[in-house]
Structure 1
Amino acid sequence: MKTIKFIAACALLAIASASFGHENMAHHGAHAPVAREQKDWGIAGDPAAVRRTIVLRMSDDMRFSPNQIEVQEGDTVRLRADNRGRMLHEIVLGTRAELAQHAQMMQKFPDMEHDEPSMVHVRAGRRGDIVWHFNRPGTFDFACLIPGHFEAGMTGTITVRPRNR
């Protein structure tokens, strides 16, 4: 059992030491293939299917505006992250529990590399997009997981209303 824990700890350290900071990360671009993995809160969307863009403004007061959005089950939405602050911010979609767990990991490994279709990292004065297909009803969350930002309250909710069947 100690050997398994040791191997797991070594793997985490190797990943952390091989990674680099958010500000140096490559992000999904027009030429990068997007991994489509079903999540509790939906799946990466097809940009051609977008019928609505929601602008989420981020600022150094550690808030999103708006911090609550509503979509319909089946909608493919462009979430446009507009960083009006002077520091790096991000938007990560997920459940409250997953975001809290990810935020704890970011505290331990602040330079951890991660790039998925359900997140976008945005430098000061820039914009970035997440294209997401909300194919499951429920209430989900989004947050900035840069160390300290989540803890300061940089969070929001997405309500996915069920489609009338």
Structure 2
Amino acid sequence: MKRAIFFSTTFAAFAFVSVALAAPGHTGGHAHSNVGKAGDPKKVSRTIEVVMNDQMRFLPDSVTVKPGETIRFVVKNVGEMKHEMMLGTHKELMDHAKVMQQHPGMEHDDDNAVTVEPGKTGEIVWQFTKAGTFKFGCLMPGHVEAGMIGTVSVKR
């Protein structure tokens, strides 16, 4: 009987912690990924301004950086709805967009993403560690599907 009570209590505590960590925000750091890693704000190579709007577009929608470069993305939301910018591979963004459809209130607190309220500005400091073609997108439900996605080309 004691074993059953211990198991039930342990399972309930685990379930509570799992739910508490899963909602409403999404945290996990993403300090290092296929796209690179969180950059040191003291070692920024250059700043790139990115504008997000309610026409579901990023301006610019394409940027080129060099491997090893640390970029400060200054991300401005000129729209009237909340937008975000998340860095990742195309597959990572599309997979995560599906999760966002199921959990529309989820916000990101990750190194590779920033959620920006209307009329506000946010930042991502990111170091691109290897060459390749990567993406950035707004994963608010329906936004990436409407074309709110851009490309990062990392090349020498």
Long gaps (5+) in structure 2: 1-10
Instruction: Please identify the structure whose Cα radius of gyration is greater.
Output: 2
Q: What secondary structure sits across from 1:124 in the alignment? A: coil
Distance (Å, rounded) in 2 between the aligned partners of 1:94 and 1:103: 12
Tell me which amino acid in the other structure corresponds to 2:127. Answer: H
Distance (Å, rounded) in 1 between the aligned partners of 2:91 and 2:83: 20
TM-score with structure 2 length normalisation? 0.82
Equivalent residue number for residue 151 of structure 1 = 145
Distance (Å, rounded) in 1 between the aligned partners of 2:94 and 2:29: 23
1:19 equivalent to 2:13? Answer no
Q: Is the 8 A contact 1:16 1:111 kept in 2?
A: no
After superposition, residues 89-108 of structure 1 pair within 5 angstroms as 89-108=83-102
Equivalent residue number for residue 3 of structure 1 = none
Which structure carries more strand by proportion? Answer: 2
Equivalent residue number for residue 115 of structure 1 = 109
Count of matched residue positions in the alignment of Structure 1 and Structure 2 = 141
Distance (Å, rounded) in 2 between the aligned partners of 1:90 and 1:74: 24
Cα deviation, residue 51, structure 1: 2.3
TM-score with structure 1 length normalisation? 0.78
Cα deviation, residue 114, structure 1: 3.3
Equivalent residue number for residue 139 of structure 1 = 133
Q: What secondary structure sits across from 1:115 in the alignment? A: strand
Cα deviation, residue 18, structure 1: 6.2
What is the root-mean-square deviation of aligned Cα atoms in Å?
A: 2.4
